[in-house]
Amino acid sequence: MDMTNNFTARVKRSKFLSLLSRFARDPLGLFGLILVVLMVSSAVLANWIIPYDPIALDILHRLEPPSMAHIMGTDQLGRDVFSRVIMGGRIALKVALVSISLALSCGLVLGLIAGYGPPWVDRLMIILFDTIRSFPTIIFALAIVTLVGPSMNTVILVVIITTIPVYGRIVRAQTQSMKNNEFILAERAMGAGMPRILFVHLLPNIIGPLLIIASMDIPAVVTIEAGLSFLGVGIRPPTPSWGSILNDGYSFIRNTPWLIISGGIPLILTTLGFTFLGESLRDIFDPKLRKDI
Amino acid sequence: MWIYLAKRTALAVVIIITAISLLYSMILMVPGDPTAVILGPRSTPEMREALRADMGLDRPAIIQVAGFILNVFQGDMGIDVFTNRPVSQIVFEQLPYTIILIIAGISWALVLGIPLGCYSAIYRNSFIDKLTGVFSVGTIAIPAFVIALYGLLIFAVQLRWLPAIGAGEQGDLWDQIKHLILPAFAIGLGWVGYLARLVRASMLEVLGENHIRTVRAFGLPEKIIIFRYALKLAILPTIALLGVGVGYLLSSSVFAEIVFARPGIGKLIYESVLTRNYPIIMGSVLITTIIFVLCTMLADIVNAFLDPRMRENL
Amino acid sequence: MTNSIHASVLDIRNLSVEFATNRGRLKALRDVTLTVPNEKIVGLVGESGCGKSTVIFSILNLMAENAVITGGEINFEGRDILKLSSSQLRDLRGDRISMVFQDPMTSLNPVLSIDTQMIDIQFRSSISKAEKRQRAVDMLTHVGIPDAAHRLKSYPHHFSGGMRQRISIAMALLAKPALLLADEPTTALDATLEAQIVHRLRQLQKDLSCSILFVSHHLGLIAEFCDQVVVMYAGEVVEAGDVRDIFHRAGHPYTQALLECDPARIEEKTRNLPTIPGDIPDLVDFPSGCIFENRCSKRFEKCRISPPLRYRISPTHTASCFLLAEGGAI
């Protein structure tokens, strides 16, 4: 018993080490990894790192440039920008994780239905997916916001609606190719029911590429959230968001450049980090997903 | 070829019809009174009653949707309550500004991106290739509105090299061009990256194919090989990408117009969101979506036309 | 058209080529020596992977990026073309030396008409475009494409595999080369087509007085078509001679085994086709003796220790086997 545990542990460790060494050879991927770790840890530890309350006002010290007291300066209401940036990161990550997981689950279910169901259902799904993908994203998002009203949940809803078609198509394609796979036919001939086929055969094959694609969507989701918040129709103030910090910066662009700089840099670093990391991971795990070499 | 044309057009029409239905049904799906959504918070109960009768909101949903689809195909997308003008008129007034911006953005992206991609493929692993690679991924990742904001900050506010606001004086071409530079730069930058990567990948693939080896064996000058034999094949995926690109550019241009206070659909939509003016938004979404669908259709058709193999098989 | 100052249009001496791979240097060609005399057809025969295509590609420098020529000379019309600059070599391509490739389905550019491609390859000639077009039509008719004038505007996918290969041959001969390199031009085609194309090639060769280096693994074809034969195994030339020498008086055990295994030559009906037991040795880390030793039925002690030299069996016939050492080494 002990020996098998040790062996598995050693195998896992050697796989992990080889993974690390592959990373070491890819400077961009490493850079991305560092940025992502930085961002995620600051999001998780947000409540412990922030020096000030992100929504506490201090009008006397409004629009100050960076100083010892406020590393990134203050905004037009005297709030500490650094604390808002850190909190904004936490919220951005939360929105991203929630919306992507929900979209993934819905996309999985819908894709399975499309792939396994009768042809007319499939065709209907495809048309729906393609139609939603034909809406320019932000413009469509603004339409939804008008109907439902701005809030964090609206942002999540928008992201879900616009990303389900992408995941749905992938799952559907995989399902369809698997459906006619001889191995599956053999299983069905032996009387295996749908659930078994789905869980044992389909899911393990889909999960990998799907997760990689989903993780590469994180920068896109963060961007949508920031964009909508920038337009004032996303996360409602006073809750901090990188987008609303940028909005404040835009309003006061002639007074101080620091709001835009401070709000923009974390957004840039996060999107860069996740994108570089995502590209490296994809190269390692499934170079076939790569659209160029 | 004609069969392909017909099929592709039919697909486009189906998607447009579905889009219209979806947008209209969204009004019905929202909890509450649809007329309040359409007319907005400033409407009175009498206005809402009149609209309800007028729109036939007590008819079954399918009939309503069908009716609306018919109206749209006749160019009628409803009336804007605030100005009492047809929605389509208002939207089409703003459209040209956005289109000019998008053309400017895509043009400079093409002019820079395609040669960069070609160069990277021909001189693979050179310094420029590696630099372009990092730069491409970087600019694809960074959101367009952030680039717009930084551009505004650095070049307009701090350095004062370029104007910050508006589209420029009517009739003064040079002034209008100056006002286009920053916004077009902002929305095009990410596309330089996309295009360079795609062209590089396509070129590498084509350059490795057997028919290129054949022409090399005949001693053809490298220039002819690249430009006549390789590029023509490598460019095909780029055309498809451009069709999709229009959709992204439409979204980015919303931000560019707002950041630089330019007139256009983006600004129109933004103002309408703030006033919850759904008919205008719906009209704008519809028109931009139709443009997008038509562009992707056009891209596919041009692609098919350029590749003689596809012309026959479809 | 041959330049008759030199006896051989192509004279390869001690050519060695290595490929850089993850595992180390793969020695694909070792000391390859072969000659293509003026106006003769020389067949280059051997198993898949023996290096025949590498020889062909190295002549025109069309090899993969990780290939390195580590020694030897390739003398074309008396000049060592390995010493030429890339632009000088490019001048030879499609002019004095032409090539026909193996796979007709992928050898022609799919988005350009045959017209464009055949006119483009005449770029060195100063005649008018209409004249170039006419030459193309004439050559296409010559290789057996019906209604060539009208079909010129078509695209490659409008033609069958056999037709495309004929078009490739027409293109290769347009420049009236002194040497035509043919890399298994009929392997992708069926037997009847194969016969037709080879027949035409022989006619064209006589008309143009050029030489052909014909790579194939089809022994029957080589026997019928070629004047001389070179046999390769695992990157080395093991035997060379006139076609009769090889097919009637094969000296090297590998050649003998190859002939024995040729299904066309087997007289008794059997279910078990003979094969040569064993595998090709590792070309990164290969043995110090004769390269064929581990599969040779006639091996002895010396074969494992040192590699055999090229021994002369007759004025026209050489082989690299200790069994034939009496004739003296070359």
Q: Is pLDDT larger for residue C302 or for residue A117?
A: C302
Per-residue pLDDT band for B86 (boundaries 50, 70, 90) equals confident
Higher-pLDDT residue of C253 and B314 is C253
The residue in chain C having the minimum alpha-carbon distance to the alpha carbon of residue B235 is: C111
Could you give the CA distance from residue B232 to residue C84 in angstroms, rounded to a whole number?
31
**Tokens at C275, concatenated:** 């094969």
**pLDDT at residue A102, as a whole number:** 93
Question: B141 CB near a chain A CB, below 8 Å?
Answer: yes
Which residue, among B251, B267, B294, would best test binding to A if mutated, counting the most A CBs under 10 Å from its CB? B251
**Inter-chain CB proximity C101 and B210 less than 8 Å:** yes
This prediction's pTM: 0.81
Mean pLDDT by 10 residues, chain A (293 residues): 55 66 75 90 87 82 82 84 90 92 90 83 89 89 88 90 89 78 71 67 73 83 93 87 91 87 91 88 64 37
pLDDT at A291: 42
Name the least confident of A108-112, A206-210, B214-218, C42-46.
A206-210
Q: Does B17 touch chain A (CB under 8 A)?
A: no
Least confident interval from B38-42, B73-77, B86-90, B102-106? B38-42
Residue B133: is its pLDDT beyond 90? no
pLDDT at B42 over 80: no
**Residue indicated by tokens 């590792």:** C282
Q: Do C107 and B221 touch (CB under 8 A)?
A: no
Tell me the average pLDDT across C265-294. Answer: 79
Token pair 């850089």 is found at: C20
Please tell me the total number of residues recorded for chain A in this structure: 293
pLDDT at B55 exceeding the cut of 60: yes
- Residue C43 pLDDT > 90, yes or no? yes
Residues of chain A contacting residue B271, judged by C-beta atoms under 8 Å apart: none
Q: Confidence band (pLDDT; 50, 70, 90) for C325?
A: confident
Q: What are phi and psi of B309, to 5 degrees?
A: -65, -40
Subunits close to A (at least 3 CB pairs below 8 A): B
Give the phi and the psi of residue C55 in degrees, each rounded to 5: -60, -50
Residue A286: per-residue pLDDT: 63
- Kindly tell me the sign of the dihedral angle through the C-alpha atoms of C211, C215, C221, C226: positive
Segment B221-250 shows an average pLDDT of 87
* C/A touch flag: 3 or more CB pairs below 8 Å: no
* C-alpha–C-alpha distance, residues C100 and C107, integer Å: 9
CB-neighbour burial class of residue A287 (10 A; exposed 0-12, middle 13-18, buried 19+): exposed
* Under 8 Å between Cβ of B13 and B73: no
What integer pLDDT is reported at residue B66 of this predicted model? 82
**Taking CB atoms and an 8 Å limit, are A275 and B152 in contact across chains?**
no
Mean pLDDT (whole number) for B279-308: 87
Q: How far apart are CA C100 and CA B218, in angstroms?
A: 10
Q: Per the structure block, which two tokens stand in for C296?
A: 């040779």
Question: How far is the alpha carbon of C107 from chain B, nearest alpha carbon, in Å?
Answer: 4
List chain B residues with CB under 8 Å of C92. Answer: 219
Tell me if there are at least 3 CB pairs under 8 Å linking chains A and B.
yes
Q: Which residue type sits at C182? A: A
C180/chain B closest Cα distance in angstroms: 11
Considering only CB atoms, which chain C residues are within 8 Å of B218? 93-94, 98, 121, 171, 175
B96 touches chain C (CB under 8 A): no
Closest-CA residue in chain B for C110?
Answer: B309
Residue C95 has pLDDT above 50, yes or no: yes
Q: Which residues of C touch B211 (CB under 8 A)?
A: 106-110
Give DSSP secondary structure letters for C91-146: HHBTTTEEEE-S-TTTSS-TTS-HHHHHHHTTTT--S-HHHHHHHHHHHHHHHT-T
Both tokens of B282, joined, read 């719906």
pLDDT of residue A267: 93
Indicate whether B111 pLDDT > 60: yes
Across the range B250-258, mean pLDDT stands at 91
Q: What is the ipTM of this complex?
A: 0.85
Looking at residue A15, its pLDDT comes to 66
**Cα B217 from Cα B169, distance rounded (Å):** 58
Facing residue for A140 by CB, picked from B134, B152, B285:
B285
Q: Which long-range contacts does C184-187 make (Cβ < 8 Å, 24+ apart)?
A: C184/C53, C184/C102, C184/C215, C184/C216, C184/C217, C185/C100, C185/C101, C185/C102, C185/C214, C186/C216, C186/C218, C186/C221, C187/C102, C187/C216, C187/C217, C187/C218
Of C62, C108, C120, the CB nearest to B211: C108
- CA–CA dist C60, B125 (Å, integer): 25
**Interchain CB contact of B228 with C (< 8 Å):** yes
Whether B214 and C101 lie within 8 Å, measured CB to CB:
yes
C34, containing H or E segment: strand C24-37
If you count residue pairs, one on A and one on B, with CB atoms under 8 Å apart, how many are there? Answer: 137
Q: Do B259 and A250 touch (CB under 8 A)?
A: yes
Specify the amino acid at residue B12. Answer: A
Half-sphere exposure of C219 (CA within 13 A, CB side): 20
Quick one: pLDDT at residue A290?
A: 47
- How confident is the model at residue A292, as a pLDDT? 38
The rounded distance, in Å, linking the Cα atoms of B62 and B56 is 11
In 3-state terms, what secondary structure has residue C29? strand
Burial class from Cβ neighbours inside 10 Å (0-12, 13-18, 19+) for residue C206 reads: exposed
**B279 or B35, greater pLDDT:** B279
How many inter-chain contacts (B to C, CB under 8 Å) are there?
75
pLDDT greater than 90 at residue B104: yes
Sheet of C79-80: strand order equals C24-37, C8-21, C67-76, C79-80
- Contact criterion met (CB below 8 Å) for C32 and C237: yes
pLDDT at B269 over 80: yes
Mean pLDDT of C150-166: 89
For CA atoms B212, B215, B216, B217, the dihedral sign is: positive
Q: Which of C245, C273, C244, C243 is nearest to C260 (CA)?
A: C273
B201 touches chain A (CB under 8 A): yes
Residue A145: which of B247, B273, B284 has the nearest Cβ? B273
